[in-house]
């Protein structure tokens, strides 16, 4: 069988690792799929940069879109990144010229995935994106193929290694968010501009993709409720531990009779839950099916090696001529599901308030929550130096988020409140 001819757009850490993997494991991969996988073209900004891989004999293109249109290429691997611009042009050009596409670009898929998949299917082509969600964990294949016989009711997980590292380090060391973030940047776990990670956007991109694959619905990134971890303090981590919880940034998608809820936000999880034990830069995804019950997948969610591993899995499928609908069903069968707003969430809550230490404060807090229909489950007040705001910490019984927000709005309007933090409690 003729070799599969591959062009790689983007030679950053993942691109270079993909070149290295396809070279080092060439014989193994050929034995598994019955043909060679040959890199015939690459594109990146600086042809003089040493990337630690041998690129001799490989055609070099300064223009990635031009490479995607070049003859004698079977598949284009897009590793440029970004939700539009060059990355989108490369994928559109490749599909228009009859090339399969493999991408690690979760932002592109979250915003334009349905469009690109429809274009691929119209031309009988594959668009593979195992590397776009949870790095080296084969979660897309697990949902799409391994659980194909199940009706999936829920997918949830830790989808961003940067946030998980920060929250894990804060818990283990007692250091502040800002201090641990600076450390994560120094170690390369966080970007110089970490906003996409710590504000929850990266996890939301991944959740939107998982939702589509799990439920067979069109990607609806705009309906994902997104909160990050900037507001989580060392005190919140400490108080969570005292209450026998751990704080994790979670992505949660659930399908019910009223539609699909998609949300990314910090959660307090019982210490004994399996998700609470996932630490550092690791990711984890749990899917719940009607016949299989719960399936958990844990592994490295980012990094050059794990991501290259996921890219290679898609390339092997293409080399084997194995085609599976990208989102479990073909694009024309994706349904439009009604989004369930966050205000309809029903569950318990953690609330920390920084308040003046004076008469009437506790009565004002309790009264505001009671008027909103929120019942307090646990309550304590920590100590501070005289004259400083004091932390008041509580958890609530289960209630609708709309009621919790009404109570919180009433509390924040009081002149004795200086700061607050609300975290949803999830019993995974």
Measured CA to CA in angstroms, residue 215 lies from 265, 281, 346 at distances of: 21, 27, 21
The encoded tokens of residue 246 equal: 């751990």
The number of helix segments (H) and strand segments (E) in the chain equals 14, 17
CB 279 within 8 A of CB 164: yes
Among residues 220, 250, 221, the alpha carbon closest in space to that of 160 is found at 250
C-alpha 153/C-alpha 288 separation (Å) is 6
C-alpha 113/C-alpha 90 separation (Å) is 14
C-alpha 19/C-alpha 307 separation (Å) is 12
DSSP letter for 373, please.
T
10: left (phi over 0), alpha (psi -120 to 50) or beta: left
CB 133 within 8 A of CB 139: yes
Residues 6+ apart with CB under 8 A from 244: 270, 271
Strand-pair category, 100-103 with 37-43: unpaired
Residue 16, helix vs strand vs coil: helix
Among residues 15, 3, 145, 133, the alpha carbon closest in space to that of 67 is found at 15
* 206 catalytic residue (yes or no): yes
CA 10 to chain centre: 21
C-alpha 41/C-alpha 66 separation (Å) is 11
C-alpha 235/C-alpha 247 separation (Å) is 12
Catalytic residue selected from 49, 106, 141, 206: 206
C-alpha 206/C-alpha 158 separation (Å) is 10
Strand-pair category, 100-103 with 245-256: unpaired
Positions annotated as catalytic residues are 206
């Amino acid at each position: 069988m003729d070799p599969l001819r591959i062009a790689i757009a983007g030679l950053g850490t993942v691109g270079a690792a993909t070149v290295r993997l396809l070279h080092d494991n060439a014989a193994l991969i050929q034995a598994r799929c019955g043909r060679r996988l040959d890199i015939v073209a690459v594109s990146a900004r600086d042809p003089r940069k040493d990337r630690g891989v041998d690129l001799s004999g490989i055609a070099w293109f300064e223009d990635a879109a031009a490479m995607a249109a070049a003859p004698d290429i079977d598949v284009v691997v897009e590793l440029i990144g970004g939700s539009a611009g060059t990355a989108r042009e490369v994928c559109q050009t490749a599909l228009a010229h009859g090339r399969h596409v493999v991408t690690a670009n979760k932002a592109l898929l979250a915003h334009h995935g349905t469009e690109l998949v429809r274009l691929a299917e119209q031309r009988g082509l594959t668009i593979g994106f195992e590397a776009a969600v949870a790095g080296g964990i084969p979660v897309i294949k697990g949902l799409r193929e391994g659980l194909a016989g199940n009706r999936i009711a829920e997918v949830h997980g830790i989808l961003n290694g940067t946030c998980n590292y920060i929250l894990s380090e804060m818990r283990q060391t007692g250091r502040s968010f800002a201090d641990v973030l600076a450390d994560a940047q120094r170690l390369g776990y966080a970007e110089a501009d970490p906003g996409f990670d710590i504000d929850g956007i990266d996890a939301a991109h991944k959740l939107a993709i998982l939702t589509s694959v799990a439920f067979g619905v069109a990607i609806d990134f705009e309906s994902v409720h997104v909160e990050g971890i900037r507001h989580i303090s060392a005190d919140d981590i400490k108080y969570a531990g005292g209450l026998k919880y751990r704080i994790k940034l979670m992505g949660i998608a659930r399908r019910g009779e009223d539609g699909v809820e998609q949300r990314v936000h910090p959660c307090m999880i019982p210490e004994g839950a399996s998700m609470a034990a996932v630490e550092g830069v690791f990711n984890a995804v749990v899917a719940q099916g009607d016949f299989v019950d719960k399936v958990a997948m844990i592994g490295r969610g980012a990094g050059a090696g794990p991501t290259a591993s996921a890219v290679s899995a898609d390339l092997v499928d293409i080399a084997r001529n194995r085609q599976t609908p990208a989102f479990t069903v073909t694009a024309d069968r994706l349904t439009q599901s009604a989004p369930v707003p966050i205000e309809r969430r029903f569950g318990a809550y953690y609330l920390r308030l920084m308040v003046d230490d004076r008469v009437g404060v506790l009565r004002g807090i309790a009264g505001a929550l009671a008027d909103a229909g929120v019942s307090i489950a646990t309550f304590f007040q920590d100590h501070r130096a005289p004259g400083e705001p004091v932390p008041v910490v509580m958890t609530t019984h289960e209630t609708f988020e709309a009621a919790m927000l009404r109570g919180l709005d009433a509390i924040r309007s009081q002149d004795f409140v200086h700061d607050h933090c609300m975290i949803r409690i999830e019993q995974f």
